[in-house]
Structure 1
Amino acid sequence: MIRGLYTAASGMIAEQRKHDTITNNIANLRTPGYKQVNAISRSFPEMLIALTSGQAGSGGTSQTIGRLNTGVLAEEDPSLYVQGDLKETKNGFDFAIASDIQEDGLDFNGRGMAFDADGNRVFQKQLFFTVQGADGETRYTRSGSFGVSEAGDLITADGDKVLGLDGQPVKLVNPDTGQALTSVTATADGRFLDPVTGQPLLDAAGRQLGVLLSRVDNPNRLVREGNGVYRINPGDEGTVTALTDRNGERNEELGTLVDNHQAVLRQGYLEQSNVDPAQSMVELNTALRAYEANQKMVQYYDRSLDKAVNEVGKV
């Protein structure tokens, strides 16, 4: 009976965590670049129950009754990194990455996952903006809601500096006046042009300005830090490739993705959250009903224990 109480209680905890995850997704329906989080549950190891007659070694027999489940736990909260819809804002400093990177021999499903010839699970590679946090460390985001500070730094909505093609923060200033630029034109591969002349915008060293896009081979290895920002785990640096210009020319890999319509940077657009509101509401109600069912089981065991202690004990 006590075991059943713990089993029902573990179900309540797991459903509460699932409920919290879903409500967080719903709260971020309109957050640019937000990636849906999924709560995955698994059961504790089952136990084989048997009825034993006599003592061990005395020739007693045992009869198998069956397996007993010992509860459930919310194991992990993986994110869904598939492409979100693009919404036009007509703001020249809003950018959205539209990427659908394919690999030969792999057929990715709607969750960005496929299986290779050996049956190994493979996740679809994704592109991210590369930014510099307040601590100076590199971070990654899909939210392209940028702006320009008074000093001419291209920054995110949270004030992180956007990294450019040379791996350094982008500085958009007029070389003649030193004032911050109020407009730029971006190419499909993220390089900046003068909106009037169409000529490449250059930094003080004569290098072309643009935003640094990074390819993450397994986005599920990223660590969510909040506000749509991710960091890479120590030791996983090899799974991230910075797609920078080489010698002032277009990066070959990024250029191939753009030419094959597998990646493009859209100016004046923002990527919307990839949360499905209808499915989220269904999952929210399902989690609520499962929580209530486990709650009733806890109440049932509580009443049974009450009878066992206060009524049966008097007989």
Structure 2
Amino acid sequence: MLRGLYTAASGMISEQRRHDTITNNIANINSPGFKQGNSLSRSFPEMLISRIRGGQDIPANAQIGRLNTGVFAEENIAIHTQGDLQETQNPYDFAVVSNLQVPNVQFDATGKFIDANGNWIQQPQALFTVQNQAGERRYSLNGKFTVDSTGRLANSEGHTVLGRDGQPLILINPATNLPIRNIKVTNKGEFLDEAGQPILNAAGQPVGLLISRAENPNLMLREGNGLYRINPGDEATVTAVAQGDQVEIKQGYIERSNVDAAQSMVDLMSALRAYEANQKVIQFYDKSMEKTVNDVGRV
């Protein structure tokens, strides 16, 4: 078996997936709320190489050393650092600014904590909560919303934005029975009408955005169009934010993606160079086998 050929091939596949992750980051550099991905590679288990036929002075089972058998792209981890806020002056644009904490845990600048035993804890994240056409909950950081003729608050994909009561947000002025256009939202996500009075639901409670707290954002799966979903069985890891959580809603702003364009271009070139290096190794093996078959085989 040509171990080097298989090792180089696995390296090409890993770098191709890394390249795809980086290009996806660059493509979404202007997508509100997008969190850049980071492709993680892991090496296959090492093998202990031994000599099976030794000479007179070499034992038959002499150990030569360890051999690495290549790498593979293990997973794509999102970086959940806060993106910059961009002012739009659109009353239906919102951004979530959060700094959620866990007792006895001090997160670093990248939002992670590693304890003495090597356990990795990711900082919880706050997200908007929407409902798709099938009635399933989805989560997003893209706060570009609109209000239709029925007063329904929805995102660009037509998914309904949910309120604190878990029901779709409908902004209707009871006096005119028309959608409320000039709304104001407090930093707690509560809606105010044109007169600055709280908008109440049918139960007489203030209408506000349902902001969800994801205890482990790495459990959330990308669904496309800036949406995340939770696998069955992990629903308990997503709850509504509590009263004392450090979460603030900014009206007239959107959160920009946290993609670093300059670093992404550097990583893109690095992945390309590593891919080409593995490609040259495979070409070398191909020429060696060609010479073995065409030249040595004739002797």
Secondary structure at 1:97 match in 2:
strand
Residue 182 (structure 1) aligned with residue 186 (structure 2)? no
CA distance in 2 between partners of 1:77 and 1:117 (Å): 25
Task: Report the Cα distance in structure 1 between the residues aligned to 2:232 and 2:59, rounded to whole angstroms.
Answer: 56
**Aligned equivalents of 1:183, 1:301: Cα separation in 2:** 69
Aligned partners of 1:171 and 1:193: how far apart in 2? 13
CA gap 1:117/1:269 in 2 versus in 1, 3 angstroms? same
1-side partners of 2:135 and 2:203: how far apart?
22
Structure 1 range deviating more: 202-211 or 148-157: 202-211
User: Contact 1:105–1:116 at 8 Å: present in 2 too?
Assistant: no
Aligned to 1:236: 234
Give the C-alpha shift of residue 2 in structure 1.
2.3
Distance, in Å, in 2 between the alignment partners of 1:218 and 1:304 is 50
Q: 2:283 aligns with which of 274, 299, 305?
A: 299
- 1:313 matched residue in structure 2: 297
Counterpart residue identity of residue 175, structure 2: D
Look up the equivalent residue of 2:113 and give its one-letter code. Answer: A
Deviation string 1:247-297 (CA, Å, 9 cap, x unpaired) is: xxxxxx33x23xxxx321000000000111111111111000000000101
Whole-angstrom distance in 2 between the partners of 1:189 and 1:18: 39
Superposed, 1:87-236 pairs within 5 Å as 87-116=86-115, 118-194=117-193, 196-236=194-234
Indicate the RMSD between aligned Cα atoms, in angstroms.
Answer: 1.6
Q: What's the counterpart of residue 80 of structure 1?
A: 79
1:248 equivalent in structure 2: none
Residues of 1 paired with 2:228 and 2:258: CA distance?
A: 16
Measured after TM superposition, the shift of residue 109 of structure 1 is 2.0
Alpha-carbon contact 1:106-1:115 (below 8 Å) kept = no
1:97·1:266 contact (CA, 8 Å) conserved in 2? Answer: yes
Unaligned runs of 5+ in 1: 244-252
Distance 1:66 1:118 in 2: 30
Partner SS for 1:81: coil
- 1:118 and 1:303, CA in 2 relative to 1: closer, same or farther beyond 3 A? closer
Task: Single out whichever of 270-279 and 107-116 deviates more from structure 2.
Answer: 107-116
**Alignment match, 1:280:** 264
- State the secondary structure of the residue aligned to 2:18: helix
Match of 1:250 in 2: none
Which residue of structure 1 aligns with residue 250 of structure 2?
266
Residues 170/77 of structure 1: CA separation in 2 closer, same or farther (3 Å cut): same
Structure 1 stretch displaced more, 206-215 or 286-295 = 206-215
Aligned counterparts of 1:199 and 1:293: Cα–Cα separation in 2? 65
Alignment map for 1:248-267 (pairs within 5 Å): 253-254=242-243, 256-257=244-245, 262-267=246-251
Using the alignment, how far apart are the partners of 1:161 and 1:205 within structure 2? 20
- How far apart, in 2, do the equivalents of 1:116 and 1:304 lie? 50
**1:287 is paired with a residue of what secondary structure?**
helix
Farther off after superposition, 200-209 or 39-48: 200-209
- Partner SS for 1:39: strand
1:304 Cα deviation after fit: 0.4
Q: Deviations over 1:43-83 (max 9, x none)?
A: 111111011237xxxx9632111111111111100111111
Deviations 1:1-47 (A, max 9, x none): 62211111111111011001000001111100001111001111111
The aligned length equals 296
Partner in structure 2 of residue 8 of structure 1: 8
Deviation at 1:117, TM superposition (A): 5.5
The separation in 1 between residues aligned to 2:59 and 2:204, in whole angstroms, is: 89
Cα deviations across residues 116-148 of structure 1 (Å, max 9, x unaligned)?
A: 455421110110101001211011001100010
CA separation in 1, counterparts of 2:15 and 2:114?
30
Partner of 1:247: none
Segment drifting more, 229-238 vs 101-110: 101-110
| 1: CA distance, partners of 2:117 / 2:3 | 41
- TM-score, normalised via structure 2 length: 0.95
Which residues of structure 2 form unaligned runs of 5+?
A: none
Which SS does the other structure have where 1:177 is aligned? coil
Q: Once the two structures are aligned, what percentage of the paired residues are identical?
A: 56
Give the TM-score, by structure 1 length.
0.90
Counterpart of 2:21, as a letter, is T
Q: Which residue is 2:29 aligned to?
A: 29
Counterpart Cα distance in 1 of 2:115 and 2:183 = 42
> Match for 2:43: what amino acid?
S
Q: Hey, what's the Cα distance between the residues in 1 that align with 2:64 and 2:214?
A: 50
